[in-house]
Amino acid sequence: MIDGKKVLFSGMQATGNLTLGNYLGALKNWITLSDEYECFYSVVDLHSITVRQDPQELRKRARALLTLYIAAGLDPKKNCIYYQSHVSAHAELSWILGCFTYMGELNRMTQFKDKAAKHADNINAGLFTYPVLMAADILLYQADVVPVGIDQMQHLELTRNIAERFNNIYGDVFTVPEAYVGKVGSKIMSLQDPTKKMSKSDENPNASIYLMDDPDTIMRKCKRAVTDSEGIICYRDEQPGIKNLIDIYSACTGKTPQDVVAEFEGKGYGELKPAVGEAVISVLKPLQDEFARLSKDKAYLDSIIKENAEKAGYYAQKTLRKVQRKVGFPDRIR
C-alpha cells in the first residue's frame, strides 16, 4: 500500500516496434487501472539486452516507449513512468532472488525455450534468468496487481512462487502479486497465422499492426488478414482468424464479442475486415498524434524521467534494504 492505495507494477521491453497486441493486451488496461492504483510503469531496458541490441537504437526506442506510455494517456505526474536501468535496486534484488529460484523452474519457462530456439547463437545466462529479474521488478514495489497479456502468466506464477518461498523463510517481506488479464485482447494473434501470437519480432510485417503504422497500412493489413473458407462470422476456436478479428474489434470498440457477432450477422468477411481496420485506426490515430506532439518536448520529458527515477528509487530502496537485512547482510554505518 502507498498512501492507502494498492500498488500496480507493469513494464514493456523497448525492443522492436510495439504492436497492437502490446497495446490491447497491456497498455490499454494500464490506463483503465491507473486511477484505482498507485502505479509504476517501467521501460524494462535491462530485459532488452538479453538479446543483442544496437546501443543507439535501444536508447532511441526506450525513449520512444516512455513517450508512448504518456501519449497513451498515463499521466506521469500520477503514474511513476521510468527506465528500469535508472533504478539499480532491480539488478540488486534480482541477484538475491536468483538464490531463491531453482534451475528446474527456469528450465520450464516456455518463453526461454522459444527465445533460445530463435537466438541459438546467443543463449546467454541473462536470457535464462530473465524471469528472476521480472520477479524483482514486481516485488520491489510490493505490487498487488500486474496487468499483462496471457503470454506473461507463467512468469507471474513464478514470481508468486518466489515471493511465497521467501516469505516462508523470512516472514512477510513481499506482497504476493496477482496477474490482471483483460477479458478481451489478452492474446492478439498474428494476422498472417492466427495460431501464433502477434509479436514484435515477427519477420513478416503483414503479421502485426505496429502502433506507428499509418491508416492506409493498417487498413491494408486488416484486409489481407488470413481467415478461412467458412464464410460466416462466428466467435469460435475453429475459426481462429475471424475470432482474432472479432477480438481486435471488441477491444477497440468496447463491444463484447457476442455484440460484434450480432452486428455482423448475415454479413461477409469483406465487411468485417474494413470495419476492424477503421476501429484500429480510430484508436491508434490519436495516440500517434499525441506521440508526435510530446516527442518534441524534450525538456518536459527529461524532467519526467528525472523525477520519476527518483520516486521509483525511493520505494525500491525501501524494499531492497528490508530484504538485505532479512538475508543477513551487514547494516550500513551512517
- The residues carrying an active-site annotation are 115, 197, 200
Q: Which residues bind ligand TYM (CB under 6 A)?
A: 9-13, 21-22, 25-26, 44, 47, 134, 137-138, 146, 148-149, 151-152, 186-188, 197-198
List the one residue out of 58, 112, 111, 106 whose CA is nearest residue 85: 58
Q: How far is the CB of 28 from ligand TYM (least distance, A)?
A: 10
For ligand TYM, the closer of residues 47 and 160 by Cβ is 47
For ligand TYM, the closer of residues 159 and 239 by Cβ is 159
Cβ distance 151 to 26 under 8 Å?
Answer: no
Q: How far is the CB of 12 from ligand TYM (least distance, A)?
A: 4
- In sequence order, the 6+-apart residues with CB closer than 8 A to the CB of 273 are 222, 223, 225, 245
Alpha-helix runs per DSSP H in the chain:
20-22, 28-33, 45-48, 55-71, 89-98, 103-107, 110-118, 125-140, 153-170, 215-223, 240-253, 257-263, 269-295, 298-327
For ligand TYM, the closer of residues 184 and 305 by Cβ is 184
- In sequence order, the 6+-apart residues with CB closer than 8 A to the CB of 187 are 21, 25, 149, 150, 151, 197
For ligand TYM, the closer of residues 226 and 232 by Cβ is 226
Q: How far is the CB of 97 from ligand TYM (least distance, A)?
A: 13
Q: How far is the CB of 265 from ligand TYM (least distance, A)?
A: 27
